[in-house]
Structure 1
Amino acid sequence: MAPATLNGGDRPKEEGASICINDALTDDELRAVFARLKKEDERDLFGLVCKRWLRLQSSERRRLRARAGPAMLRRMTDRFPGLLELDLSQSASRSFYPGVTDSDLGVIAAGFRNLRVLDLQNCKGVTDVGMISLGNDLPSLQSLDVSQCRKITDEGLVAVASGCSSLKRLHVAGSKSVTDELLKALSRSCSCLEDLGLAGCNNITDTGLSALADGCRYINSLDISKCTKIGDIGVSRIAEVASSSLKILKLLDCFRVGDESIFSLAHFCHNLETLVIGGCRDVTDESIKALSLACCDSLRSLRMDWCLNITDSSLNSVLSNCIHLAALDIGCCDKLTDLAFQSVGMGGFESQLKVLKMSNCMKITVSGIGSMLKFCKSLEYVDLRSCPHITRLGCQQAGLQFPECCKTNYDGSLSENETIVDVFF
């Protein structure tokens, strides 16, 4: 490639001559040029000009996604000294074993001393040894995802919590060896923790959750789905302590959670945006109505499939009061009928609902869907699978008009999900 030149400018030169940019601009000036390139492909092209520009580009790189062994990682630590975010995660369906290993983490901990974000999802070869390396050598780490790294136990994660006091985000979903000891360590050392993902960590109890609340008072997002030993005591304690910060709470299949938890959320957490209580079968109308009134301005996503005690009165309250609700899952709530939709919209507002999942609602008919469509004009996805009284033909014969951009799902596997659903839940 020909050397980059600068034609014109205010520096004296012979007529017809050109000045090489590399002679005219300092490193700091070139960095200023690079900083103005916002698109990723433009920033990549910058490094193709020459070796000097590639070196400058590398020194300014802050994010990197890679698959590499120790030798390559050592080269990367030399090339990208300013790296802040490193993604070594694997796809759950295409992961290779062992993938990232403890020796790789040793290189990372020694070489990327300023690292803030590390993603190791589905890296099944990682153990406590690697976690201890991170805890010892990466004090600035703020975000760590070791979901589905099933060889990791309390020993390694407690080392991370103890050594990384700036930690704001920790996801350890699927780590069944994790216990309350991790939550106690987080409470002691990580007072800035905001986002904690513990889905499937079924050895976590109310004792651990209460201990977490003692030291971590700024929790913004908490996922304790399928933590079957969690009940009202732990959830209520979190609701009380993190009342102003808590926005996302996921309690999928926490069957010990009941009305007491929901009443606590209604009383304390008026900024709650996402609540997942699918499978919490003891939740009743009274607590849901209280929540719909308390969080009427904040609630945007509500998943309460398999809440078998929910009836028309609480669903009507949610639809009538939660004016910003964008996603709702009421699948398998077999007490719901068309009456839930009939008086909604009488307040004069138009619902912002985009996603409505109501599979296996045995008593809802085409008439109920017609009532719902009168005030839900923004729908993008409606799940009507396994609703015995609702069919495509029946909706057509009734002359129902779904929004033009709305996908309506009448059949197919109940295990399948649309991308838009995953965005909300």
Structure 2
Amino acid sequence: MALIESQSDAIICINETLMDDELRSILEKLENEKDKEIFGLVCKRWLHLQSTERKKLAARAGPHMLSKMAARFTRLVELDLSQSTSRSFYPGVTDSDLSVIANGFKCLRVLSLHNCKGITDVGMLAIGNGLSLLQSLDVSYCRKLTDKGLSAVAEGCHDLHVLHLAGCRFVTDGSLKSLSKNCRNLEQLGLLGCSNITDIGLISLANGCQQIKFLDISKCSNVGDAGVSSISKASSSCLKTLKLLDCYKIGDESILSLATSCKDLETLIIGGCRDISDMSIKSLASECKKDLKNLRMDWCLNISDSSLSCILDQCRNLESLDIGCCEWVTDAAFQVIGTGEIGLSLKVLKVSNCPKITVTGIAILLDKCNYLEYLDVRSCPHITKGGCDEAGLQFPEYLKVNFTGNVVEPDVFL
């Protein structure tokens, strides 16, 4: 029992003096999670208060333990039951677990079930019926889920802001139609690898969800210009991040639509979109120059010096750029760096497999890009460690140069 000594030398018990609300006020002032845990070790009453005030929890537990947790952590807002691909456990999260969660954690706003491969539409139905306050759900790589379960979530969780469905291969346009109808506040949607999504689904999504800030439709091979253009127009004032990696049907029309509508775009990934040409990239550089920070366009085989020069000249806040395998790019593209009044903010540059870039181009980069932290020159036949040394190039200590693949890459484009 916690005791304090007053000025009159009388022993006073804190638990007899302070009410629950006052103890909660003390707990709220503890910023360190370890200190909050220690608070709960004082006595059973303090443990109960600490438990009921806990907002976040990551756990691995079956139905029996989840029921106990629900009784203890009554105000839990965020629950993470994700499984690691390398350290998953059997049987993992099941539909029975989701039923317990839906009935026991009524205050839940954020639920992560990433890589929980055992759950099915039955579990999603329980979530939709029980967690009406849910705002964020991650069921990436839960490969048994279909439109039936995800539509149940959309119909029951109208305040959904974030939904990640990467690797859910059975998801089709039906899920997007349900989101459009029921989740008008949706801001983030991850559909990486959902290859059954088409333009019809994206057009439907755009009709109802017009506050999209983040959209990942990478490797959705059935998506084309019509779907992307509908999203860019509908969410023109909101869209910050768009990922279109290996969307082979995407062409200049999508990029021109982004340039026209989404002036505040910050991150664009179009790697593998081989039909995109200099014409649309120049327009993007001109219209989105203020906020564009990350641009990945490796394997855009029609890109040349003319559009890259526009990017480097106009997008002065650009921090990360990937032009790997753009075989037409030469040293001439870098000549514009440093000619503007404001210096370039470039920190990450990947030029791997660019056969026409030489040590001369790297020298320009070193001279003009003072913030560069990572440079990828793998498989560039004219750029080797020995060649750079022979040319007298001096790489700053903080700059990591990847010549052979033995340097850890930054994850800015993930």
Which band: TM-score by shorter chain? over 0.9
Pick aligned residue for 2:292 from 299, 317, 324: 299
Give, as a single letter, the amino acid of the residue that structure 1 aligns with 2:214: S
CA distance in 2 between counterparts of 1:228 and 1:63 reads 37
Alignment partner of 1:254 out of 210, 234, 247: 247
1:259-408 superposed matches below 5 A? 259-408=252-401
Aligned match for 1:52, one of 24, 45, 48: 45
Q: Distance in 1 between matches of 2:408 and 2:205?
A: 33
Shift of 1:287: 0.6
What secondary structure, in the 3-state scheme, does the structure 1 residue paired with 2:411 have? Answer: helix
Q: Secondary structure at the match of 2:321?
A: strand
**Counterpart residue identity of residue 374, structure 1:** D
Distance 1:283 1:277 in 2: 9
Cα RMSD for the two superposed structures: 1.2
The residue type equivalent to 1:229 in the other structure is N
Instruction: Report the equivalent of 1:238.
Output: 231
Give the aligned partner of residue 423 of structure 1: 412
Instruction: Give the TM-score taking structure 1 as reference length.
Output: 0.95
CA contact (8 A) 1:258 1:282 kept: yes
Question: Is 2:196 the counterpart of 1:203?
Answer: yes
SS in 1 for 2:412: helix
Give the match for residue 134 of structure 1: 127
Distance in 2 (CA, whole Å) between partners of 1:97 and 1:177 is 23
| 2:4 is aligned with 1:6 | yes
Alpha-carbon shift at residue 347 of structure 1 (Å): 1.3
Q: Is residue 95 of structure 1 aligned with residue 105 of structure 2?
A: no
Q: Which residue of 2 aligns with 1:190?
A: 183
Distance 2:255 2:400 in 1: 32
What secondary structure does 2:375 align onto? strand
Partner-residue secondary structure (3-state), 1:332: coil
Cα distance in 2, alignment partners of residues 42 and 378 from structure 1: 39
Contact 2:353/2:379 (8 A) holds in 1: yes
Greater shift in the superposed pair: 204-213 or 377-386:
377-386
Structure 2: distance between partners of 1:52 and 1:109? 27
Q: Deviations over 1:366-415 (max 9, x none)?
A: 100111122211111111111111111211222223333111111027xx
Does the 8 Å CA contact 1:161/1:190 hold for their aligned counterparts? yes
Task: Give distance in 2, aligned partners of 1:235 and 1:374.
Answer: 38
| Number of aligned residue pairs | 414
Structure 2: which 5+ residue stretches go unaligned? none
Give the structure-2-normalised TM-score: 0.98
Match of 1:122 among 115, 118, 131: 115
Equivalent residue number for residue 104 of structure 1: 97
Tell me, yes or no, if the aligned pair for 1:360 and 1:387 is still in contact at 8 Å: yes
How far apart are 1:424 and its partner, in Å? 4.5
Greater shift in the superposed pair: 349-358 or 172-181 = 349-358
Q: Deviations over 1:285-329 (max 9, x none)?
A: 111111011111110100000000000111111111111111111
Matches of 1:51 and 1:224 in 2, distance apart?
A: 49
Secondary structure of the 1:423 match is coil
| Change in 2 beyond 3 A, CA 1:130/1:417 | farther
**1:16-60 deviations in Å (ceiling 9; x for gaps):** 332122122111111000101111111111111111111100010
Once residues 392 and 42 of structure 2 are traced to their aligned partners in structure 1, the CA distance between those partners, rounded to angstroms, is 62
The CA distance in 1 between the partners of 2:380 and 2:3, in whole Å, is 69
Contact 1:126 1:152 in 2 (8 A): yes
| 1:178-201 residue CA offsets vs partner (Å, 9 max, x unmatched) | 000000000000000000000000
Shift of 1:417: 5.4
Instruction: State percent identity of aligned pairs.
Output: 61
CA contact (8 A) 1:83 1:112 kept: yes
Q: Which moved more, 1:341-350 or 1:258-267?
A: 341-350
| Amino acid of the structure 1 residue aligned with 2:277 | T
Structure 1: 5+ residue stretches without partners:
10-14
Aligned mates of 1:403, 1:298 — CA distance in 2: 27
1:223 to 196, 203, 216: 216
- The match for 1:173 among 156, 166, 176 is 166
Among residues 56, 61, 64, which one is paired with 1:71 in the alignment?
A: 64
Q: Which moved more, 1:296-305 or 1:397-406?
A: 397-406
Asked if structure 2 preserves the Cα contact closer than 8 Å seen for 1:378 and 1:403, the reply is no
Q: What letter matches 1:285 in structure 2?
A: D
**Which amino acid in structure 2 is aligned with residue 370 of structure 1?**
A
Displacement of 1:98 in angstroms is 2.8
CA distance, structure 2, for counterparts of residue 307 and residue 42 of structure 1: 52
Letter in 2 for 1:320: D
Equivalents in 2 of 1:8, 1:314: separation in Å? Answer: 76
